[in-house]
């Protein structure tokens, strides 16, 4: 028997990095509308850019690990890919 996992929509939209393994998972999430997916990707992107700006200013980010920059850049690239995939979808999604 297949179990359906529940999605905490608010948490998924506000803190996607804690819910999804990567931004491309958002594209296939059936419990979010296309608009919610795009908004979620934008929030994730802004969060990373804010962290990068903070670390660049020498302020440091709580929990920041040296070498994490490459991972954050990969996530930013995945966000762009996810947005492209969503833009190819039906306008009624």
Task: State how many domains the chain has.
Answer: 1
Is there a domain that residue 29 lies in? yes
- pTM assigned to the model: 0.78
Structural domain boundaries enclosing 12: 7-37+67-88
Is there a domain that residue 22 lies in? yes
pLDDT per residue as tens digits for the range 41-55: 999 999 999 988 887
- The confidence score (pLDDT) of residue 2 equals 47
Is there a domain that residue 84 lies in? yes
| Crossing angle of the two packed helices 34-56 and 68-87, in degrees rounded to 10 | 160
- The confidence score (pLDDT) of residue 16 equals 95
pLDDT per residue as tens digits for the range 64-91: 555 677 889 999 999 999 999 999 865 5
Is there a domain that residue 42 lies in? no
Q: Which of 43, 41, 50, 51 is nearest to 77 (CA)?
A: 41
Please tell me the distance from the alpha carbon of residue 22 to that of residue 36, in angstroms, as a whole number: 16
Secondary structure class of 90 (helix, strand, coil): coil
Is there a domain that residue 82 lies in? yes
Is there a domain that residue 57 lies in? no
- The confidence score (pLDDT) of residue 93 equals 44
């Amino acid at each position: 028997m297949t179990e359906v996992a529940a999605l905490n929509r608010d948490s998924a939209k506000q803190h996607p990095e804690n819910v999804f393994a990567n931004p491309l998972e958002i594209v296939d999430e059936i419990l979010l509308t296309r608009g919610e997916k795009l908004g979620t990707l934008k929030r994730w992107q802004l969060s990373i850019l804010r962290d990068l700006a903070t670390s660049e200013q020498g302020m440091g980010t709580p929990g920041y690990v040296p070498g994490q920059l490459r991972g954050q850049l990969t996530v930013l690239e995945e966000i762009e890919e996810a947005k492209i995939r969503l833009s190819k979808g039906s306008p009624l999604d």
